[in-house]
């Protein structure tokens, strides 16, 4: 009798253990990411920087390749009109084929024109009562670089030149252009200053506005009173250059912010650069020609360093799924990721998956993404399991209380 009782108690204990073992929670499977970081290989870019002034270069959608010179604020002359046009188009957007509202030239606008002309400034002829579309006013601002049209657009947008300049500086602060300050809408005043790096960043943003990109790429435009007006960008159409803006005064020297479509890394990209404060030399007495020469030399050197790199290859293990009841399962990239860059540009990656994925998992199952960045570029690649991961078996659960 005692033996039967003992056997019953043992059976009861075993049954109770089994019930507890089979109903208790199982430790979850856990995703453990493989750290991914690095940089584009090779020695630092050796760009052909100008011998004087300051310069910067970058690639649209990626970022700045490098800066050269003091990076201190320096007068930028008519390069300031990039911000003028950008702000007008921000406040009064134009469609790709839109002309915008009409602006009527007032007697005061004619007075500004005459005053600027007498001062030897760059102007576009206007007449009282003349009507210009917004697009035509911007064409006169950006192509022949009419200082008087900068004043006209400023008054139209903000009510006065002073109010518009305040908006320009507010926008510069919002864009973190820390070395940029505007004293006027045209750039003729020496107090309108910036750095090459700031102007590259601004030009990249401005080129994202279709109407701006269209206008700066125009070789000429015809205005109601002034007639045919030519783009003062003497490099337009050469070496892939599609804009952006020249500037020159005795204080600023020769300045040029340029954009060029270049076949780099297996596709066409937009290279943006800025060359500021180029002064006359015995070999190059023209300050604007000096800026042009420095820009083309810099542009030619960029193509040597910008490449497209496979930063993640299909099948690369980027994480592991670990569970106490099975061997770890590799989580691999479902595709190859290629990004544009240059030697030294950092590469970062972060795994975006559920921390504890539900099991079972089957081979090739998608369980998240890997986010890869290089400069301003961001790419996502799917993550898939290399093999299956079963649920915890009855045997394992019974032997792992």
Separation between Cα atoms, residue 219 and residue 242, nearest integer Å? 10
CA 52 vs CA 48, 246, 288, 301, 308: distances in Å = 12, 17, 14, 17, 31
Separation between Cα atoms, residue 166 and residue 152, nearest integer Å? 16
The whole model's pTM is what? 0.87
Give the pLDDT score at 179.
97
Give the pLDDT score at 398.
75
Per-position DSSP letters for 18-46, written without gaps between them? HHHHHHSPPPPPEEEEPP-EEE--SSPP-
Give the pLDDT score at 7.
55
Residues known to be catalytic: 78, 81, 145
φ/ψ of 218, rounded to 5, equals -80, 130
Domains of the chain (ranges, CATH numbers): 22-40+309-399 (2.60.410), 54-304 (3.40.710.10)
Residues in the chain with pLDDT < 50?
Answer: 10, 13-22
Q: What share of the chain is helix, strand, coil (3-state, %, to 5)?
A: 30, 30, 40
Tokens at residue 122, please? 């760059």
φ/ψ of 15, rounded to 5, equals -65, -40
CA 191 vs CA 74, 75, 110, 116, 180: distances in Å = 9, 7, 25, 18, 10
Residues 6+ apart with CB under 8 A from 129: 104, 105
Give the pLDDT score at 328.
95
């Amino acid at each position: 009798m005692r033996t039967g009782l003992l056997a019953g108690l043992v059976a009861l204990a075993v049954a109770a253990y089994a019930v507890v073992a089979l109903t208790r929670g199982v430790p979850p499977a856990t995703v453990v990411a493989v750290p991914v970081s690095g940089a584009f290989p090779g020695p630092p870019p050796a760009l052909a920087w100008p011998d004087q002034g300051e310069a910067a270069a970058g690639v649209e959608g990626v970022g700045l390749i490098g800066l050269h010179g003091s990076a201190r604020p320096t007068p930028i002359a008519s390069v300031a009109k990039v911000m003028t046009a950008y702000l007008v188009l921000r406040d009064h957007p134009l469609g790709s084929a839109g002309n915008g509202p009409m602006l009527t030239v007032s007697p005061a606008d004619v007075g500004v024109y005459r005053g600027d002309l007498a001062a030897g400034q760059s102007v576009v002829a206007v007449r009282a009562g003349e009507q210009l579309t917004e697009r035509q006013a911007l064409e006169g601002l950006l192509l022949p670089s009419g200082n008087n049209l900068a004043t006209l657009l400023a008054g139209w947008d903000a009510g006065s030149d002073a109010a518009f300049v305040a908006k320009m500086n507010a926008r510069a602060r919002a864009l973190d252009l820390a070395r940029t300050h505007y004293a006027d809408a045209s750039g003729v005043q020496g107090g309108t200053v910036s750095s090459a790096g700031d102007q590259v960043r601004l030009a990249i943003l401005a080129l994202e506005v279709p109407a701006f990109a269209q206008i700066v790429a125009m070789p000429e435009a015809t205005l109601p009173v002034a007639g045919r007006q030519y783009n003062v960008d003497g490099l337009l159409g050469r070496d892939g250059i599609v804009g952006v803006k020249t500037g020159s005064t005795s204080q600023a020297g020769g300045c040029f912010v340029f954009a060029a479509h270049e076949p780099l890394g297996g596709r066409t990209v937009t290279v943006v650069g800025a060359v500021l404060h180029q002064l006359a030399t015995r070999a190059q007495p023209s300050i604007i020609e000096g800026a042009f020469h420095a820009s083309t030399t810099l542009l030619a050197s960029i193509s040597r360093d910008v490449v497209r790199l496979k930063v993640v290859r299909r099948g690369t293990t980027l994480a592991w799924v670990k569970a106490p009841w099975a061997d770890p399962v590799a989580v691999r990239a479902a595709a190859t990721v290629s990004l544009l860059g240059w030697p030294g540009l950092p590469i970062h990656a972060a795994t975006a998956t559920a921390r504890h994925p539900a099991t079972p998992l089957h081979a090739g199952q998608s369980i998240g993404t890997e986010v890869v960045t290089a400069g301003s570029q961001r790419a996502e690649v799917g993550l898939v399991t290399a093999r299956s991961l079963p649920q915890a078996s009855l045997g394992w659960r019974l032997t792992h209380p």
